[in-house]
Amino acid sequence: MNTLDRQTAPDQAARERMKASHDLDGDAVRLAHLYRGWASAFDQDQARVGYCGPLIVAELAGAVQTAYLAGQRNAIAILDAGCGTGLVGVELERLGFRLIDGFDLSEEMAEKARQTGVYRHARGYVDLNGQLSDYPSASYDLTVCCGVLTLGHVRPDGLRELARVTRPNGFVIASTRKSYAETTFFEDQVRCLQDEGVLLPAQCLSNGRYVAEEDAHYWVFRVPEKVSAPTDERP
Ligand SMILES: C[S@@+](CC[C@H](N)C(=O)[O-])C[C@H]1O[C@@H](n2cnc3c(N)ncnc32)[C@H](O)[C@@H]1O
């Protein structure tokens, strides 16, 4: 008997809610509506589907900070993009990070994140498929994004804004469910962003555990130093 055969009715319902969220084609109104109704059961559902993305993303953030970022961990400014109910923030706090901000499309999910008490602020109604206009450039040392670059949610181009709000030589860490990476030609999109100097792939944990039914890739991108734009002035 395999894991799926042993599923109870609540396990099956959790999988169906997850699948429904993948079928919304990035439609912000429908996504916000779905997550409004899901916020109170989300954490329990994620335990049922074996979601371990938040733990892996937070541990990658810890490793990247130790390996590459000067200064104390508790002084590293982190943005948790699409923070949901705060599962990533809780893991980050457990690892010693203290300056954690979050945002989410869904106000109800962001409210759950605020209730964890680990975020400085967690804003709702922020859409990563658009401009993060309330977030100045180069504000964060690290930006994490778990379970958001996924089917029916945010397009790979969302990485542009994540890179913009992260400081030069800072890092963006993101999960991509395998089927999302394949259907969005994620690696090709990353190559375009690299050619444009938006970000540089630094590491990838391929085919890591994510949910029971599917693995994910976990990406670490470095934000390059900005090359100053050429001017028209000639000597
Ligand atoms: C699967 S949950 C992951 C939440 C959290 N990062 C975690 O790992 O537990 C996906 C989250 O992305 C949010 N989301 C979906 N589309 C979004 C968008 N366009 N901009 C910002 N957040 C979005 C949803 O509201 C939801 O909270």
Atom of ligand 1 nearest to the CA of 28: 19
The enclosing domain of 157 has a CATH number of 3.40.50.150
Q: What is the pLDDT of residue 226?
A: 77
Q: What is the pLDDT of residue 7?
A: 79
Residue 100 forms part of a structural domain: yes
Q: Give residues (CB < 6 A) around ligand 1.
A: 28, 31, 35, 53-54, 82-84, 87-88, 104-106, 109, 126-129, 146-148, 153-154
Residue 159 forms part of a structural domain: yes
Atom of ligand 1 nearest to the CA of 154: 19
Q: Cα-flanking dihedrals φ and ψ of residue 139, to 5°?
A: -90, -20
Q: Cα-flanking dihedrals φ and ψ of residue 185, to 5°?
A: 50, 50
Instruction: Enter the tokens of residue 216.
Output: 């994910």
Structural domain for 56, as ranges: 12-16+49-222
* Residue 5: pLDDT over 70: no
Q: One-letter amino acid identity for 71?
A: G
Q: Which residues of 13-28 are buried (b: 16+ CB within 10 A; e: fewer)?
A: ebbebbeebeebeeeb
pLDDT in tens, 20-67: 999 999 999 999 999 999 999 999 999 999 999 999 999 999 999 999
Q: What total number of domains does the chain contain?
A: 1
* Distance from C-alpha of 180 to C-alpha of 53, rounded to nearest angstrom: 15
The pLDDT-based confidence of 4 (bands split at 50, 70, 90) is low
Ligand 1 centroid – CA 148 distance (Å)? 5
> Averaged over 157-185, what is the pLDDT?
97
